[in-house]
Structure 1
Amino acid sequence: MRFSLTSQTSTDGVTEQSFTLGEITGVLFAPQGATGPRPLILMGHGGGQHKKAPGVLAGAHRFAAEGGFAVAAIDAPNHGDRPKDEQFIQFVDDMRARMAAGEDPTGLVAAMHDLLAGQAVADWQAVLTAVQELDHVGAGPVGYWGVSMGCGLGMPLLAADSRIRAAVLGLLGVHGLAAPAARVTVPVQFLLQWDDTRVPRAQALALFDALGSTDKTLHANPGDHGGIPAFEIDNALRFFARHLGCSSPGTLDVLRPAPWIRPPPCSSRRAGRGPFPAGAFEPDCSAWRAGADAGDRARRGARRGGGRERATPAISVHMEAGPARRRPRPRRAR
């Protein structure tokens, strides 16, 4: 298949290059003026979306601008600018009719993902090979970000391709994914919406449990399927910078405030800000930040002592709502 860059634009310090690889349509994001190799993040969109869906676009811009990463997003088979085959169209129509009749969507969604997964894995592997031949990407470390259908198609990709070193997944249940999940051994950050009306909580927890990785973290937030808090992109930036490295000096210092500075709580931010739609409220994330900093200190200590970073899964549950509470600010030693 021939790889072709078809157009290029730059916005807010990020360059977007649209490309085709055979019938695969995609876009590559990188810091404006980027030269030399850098870590790459693959971003998979949700069902019925496309490579420039708002969540993907906003996340890709932050990964490129703030972390110095290259980011590749493609249209999944039968999505976006790609041709739709009759089998898929008929399957979606039948699935919608059965869901409207009250049938449990869990098995139907899993069947759709299974229909697309084989082609999607081959597409991602071909795109990864082609993109890494570009001078401003190179054959550096690779991560994957995908929730909902992006998780359903990303899980078999992670099981099949050892070039991917870390992943952010979630918003999906275990149905049909137990086997590939068991073969995923890279570090994983898993997102779960506690009040998800599309994915039963027990199914999502079972998928997290099925992951073969010993370095996995569960982030549970209140709200429905599309209500992931905006601060989870901050967390993803920190996660990828830690596991892939980063091309922007000081990225981790920017994301990790000094211990005597209390960052503003998420509940004080303007509603709707960030890549994801706002839920009924955004929880106070100061406890999450403190926990993340403590985890980073523990990992540094483990590395100095020659020990393992983490042998058991970590679970973070963010359920605090309402206005931010004022707490005394620690004083610096003079």
Structure 2
Amino acid sequence: MRFLVEEISDGVSERRFTHGDVPGVLWTPAGAVGGRPLVLLGHGGGGNSRTPVLAARARRLVTEYGFAVVAVDTPGHGDRPRSARDAWFEAEIGALLAAGEPLSRGIAEHTAALAERAVPEWRAVLDALGGLDEVGAEHPVGYWGLSLASVVGLPLVAAEPRITAAVLGLAGHESLTGAAARVTVPVRFVLQWDDELVERTAGFALFDALGSAEKTLHANPGGHAGVPAAELESAARFLERHLRAPVAPGLPAGSVF
């Protein structure tokens, strides 16, 4: 992991880095010493690890909850090379949003291919962060990602035992049900009732497919990009509750009572 630049403001250290050819950003409390829970923050289609909305969410997770937060550019996004297929994906998403039409099979196949590439990248970044004193390898890890970041997040959460809780949603396609069935950690699933990209029944089906014993469905009125601020605040408290859960004396980390 190679850190490129650090900016400190309002008590938050924001460091841009590269891990191999994957760009990303790490947010931690300024001057932090010792490890802490880590939140992996995914971005939506067409975004990147430096999207202002994502950065603002990361900074609040640092200042209000004391977490470390990391985001990386999904293949074909941000500073990463873009193929003709990536350009088509971005244009197609825009066209579907403008027309108020649901995701096509072509987009579902493309995002699945992006996820296949992104999962090992996320796991490698997680390995590298475990070696940093201000993050550490012994603390719980959470994942927060909606829309494209949920398509990436489902197979990641299913494959990565270090992730102990996840916020997912704004996604739904039959190609995701296999990964969803392998997810067993607590999940908060967000659904927009009037989502123009994800059909409501597809969102319900994906939630139903989750293998988690503890899962909650949070549905709000509005379109794909209209998740209310209160829902986002509540999702942060969900992560805080699970990443800082009490551990009984003598029980291994992660044993909740």
Match of 1:168 in 2: 167
2:51 corresponds to 1:53: yes
CA distance in 2, matches of 1:78, 1:108: 16
8 Å CA contact 2:141, 2:163 repeated in 1: yes
SS at 1:6 equivalent: strand
Q: 1:31 to 1:100 in 2, by over 3 A?
A: closer
How do 1:135-284 residues align onto structure 2 when only pairs under 5 Å count?
135-139=133-137, 140-245=139-244
Change (3 A) 1:239 1:100: closer
Superposition map of 1:126-137 within 5 A: 126-137=124-135
CA distance in structure 2 between the aligned counterparts of 1:95 and 1:219, rounded to whole angstroms = 24
CA distance, structure 2, for counterparts of residue 142 and residue 105 of structure 1: 30
Aligned to 2:15: 17
2:45 matches 1:66? no
Alignment root-mean-square deviation, CA: 2.2
Q: Which runs of 4+ in 1 moved over 6 A?
A: 94-103
Count matched residues. 246
Q: TM-score, normalised by structure 2?
A: 0.89
Structure-to-structure mapping, 1:286-297, within 5 angstroms: none
Please say if residues 35 and 134 of structure 2, whose CA atoms lie closer than 8 Å, have aligned partners that are also in contact: yes
Name 1:27's counterpart in structure 2. Answer: 25
Residue of structure 1 aligned with 2:73, choices 66, 72, 75: 75
1:41 alignment counterpart: 39
Amino acid at match of 2:215: K
**CA offset digits 1:154-193 (Å, max 9, x no partner):** 1111111111100000111133100000000000001111
Q: 2:86 aligns with which of 84, 88, 104?
A: 88
C-alpha distance in 2 between matches for 1:37 and 1:6? 22
Cα distance, 1:90–1:199 mapped onto 2, change above 3 Å:
closer
Match of 1:120 among 113, 118, 121: 118
What is the CA deviation profile of residues 75-123 of structure 1, one whole-angstrom value per residue up to 9, with x for unaligned ones?
0001001111344335655777799899752423311211211110011
d(CA) in 2 for partners of 1:107, 1:114: 11
Partners in 1 of 2:93 and 2:226 — Cα distance?
24
Q: Is the 8 A contact 1:191 1:218 kept in 2?
A: yes
Distance 1:135 1:7, change over 3 A: same
Supply the AA of the counterpart residue of 1:22.
G
SS of equivalent to 1:177: helix
Residue of structure 2 in register with 1:4 after alignment: 2
Deviation at 1:207, TM superposition (A): 0.7
5+ residue gaps, structure 2, are: 246-255
TM-score, scaled to structure 1: 0.69
Which ranges in structure 1 are unaligned for 5 or more consecutive residues? Answer: 247-307, 310-334
Q: Does 1:110 align with 2:108?
A: yes
Q: Which amino acid aligns with 1:128?
A: L
Amino acid of the structure 1 residue aligned with 2:181: A
Distance 1:235 1:104, change over 3 A: closer
- The letter for the 2-side match of 1:36 is G
Secondary structure of the 1:129 match is helix
Q: How far is 1:54 from its partner?
A: 2.7
% identical aligned pairs: 51
* Higher mean C-alpha displacement, 86-95 vs 168-177: 86-95
- Cα distance change on mapping 1:229 and 1:92 into 2, 3 Å: closer
Deviation string, structure 1 residues 229-273 (Cα, Å, up to 9, x no partner)? 111232122211211118xxxxxxxxxxxxxxxxxxxxxxxxxxx
